[in-house]
Amino acid sequence: MLETLERGWRILATGISFTTFGLGGLGLRLLYFPLLQLLVRDQARQTRLARLAVHHSFRFFIEWMRVLGVLRYRIEGVEKLARPGLLILANHPTLIDVVFLISLVPNADCVVKASLAHNPFTRGPVRATGYLCNDSGPALIQDCIASVKAGNNLIIFPEGTRTRVNSPMQLQRGAANIAVRGPCDITPVTIRCEPLGLSKGTPWWRVPPKRMNFTIQVHDDIPVAPQRGEAGGEARAARQLTAQLHDYFSREGQGHAAA
């Protein structure tokens, strides 16, 4: 009885959370960003302040979900993120992974689905923050490298989309291409959610039997050596690095919680 009640509350609380999220996005777009544009002339400063606003909003949002009883979380190694110019790669089990990561990184840049730049609730923040859009093809790799070199902390999910439950992890090669061609070292982050909720193909209201428990670990950097010689060497290196990352995230991302 109590369990059913608790579960019912989490469905409601998840709905409340997402409504808050949408209204927050709309509020930033209608109030905060226009004000920013009015008061701050310098474009770079505007972008920085917009990103900072999203960072604080997401921090609030995560705390809000915790207070509402939707989730619990534990974060390890967060101090490793307090450096500029990082290429942060993470596995992608849930819908709110990027919310967690941006809540930990004040100067985050990320690659967003082009559709979010058109969604009324996310359009404002996506445009004002100058986040990269994923519809620009190979030029995107160069844009990503430029962002890291400019000192932003670029967050990428090498899987490209949330992990499909019950099927093997698949990595796109874009992230490895950024690392190899930068070259940029990789700061790996693993995200675990037990029991799993908000996963690919599960509607938001189908909440897991117990409260979602997130463990987010920031690991030591994976060094990426610069490639000498022809462009061909980079294509091969990107393939090898993708395979290496696949092993890494398959190993570190699952199981052995307390190891």
- Contacts to another protein from residues 43-82, by CB under 8 A: none
- Contacts to another protein from residues 128-147, by CB under 8 A: 137-138, 141
Task: Give the residue from 6, 224, 221, 27 showing the smallest Cα distance to 121.
Answer: 27
Task: Give the residue from 256, 249, 250, 257 showing the smallest Cα distance to 90.
Answer: 249
For residues 86 and 153, the answer to whether their CB atoms sit within 8 Å is: yes
Give the amino acid at 23.
L
Among 29-37, 42-50, 162-170, 234-242, the segment contacting another protein (CB under 8 A): 234-242
Provide the CA 204 distance to its chain's centre, in angstroms. 18
Minimum distance, C-beta of residue 235 to another protein, in the bound complex (Å):
5
Residue from the set 113, 235, 244, 254 that interacts with another protein by CB under 8 A:
235
What order do you get walking across the sheet with 132-133 strand by strand?
71-76, 212-218, 186-194, 87-90, 153-156, 108-112, 132-133
Nearer to another protein, 79 or 230 (CB): 230
Encoded one letter per residue, x for contact with another protein by CB under 8 A and - for no contact, window 190-229 reads ----------------------------------------
Minimum distance, C-beta of residue 236 to another protein, in the bound complex (Å):
5
Q: State the residues that interact with another protein by CB under 8 A.
A: 137-138, 141, 172-174, 177, 230-232, 234-236, 238-239
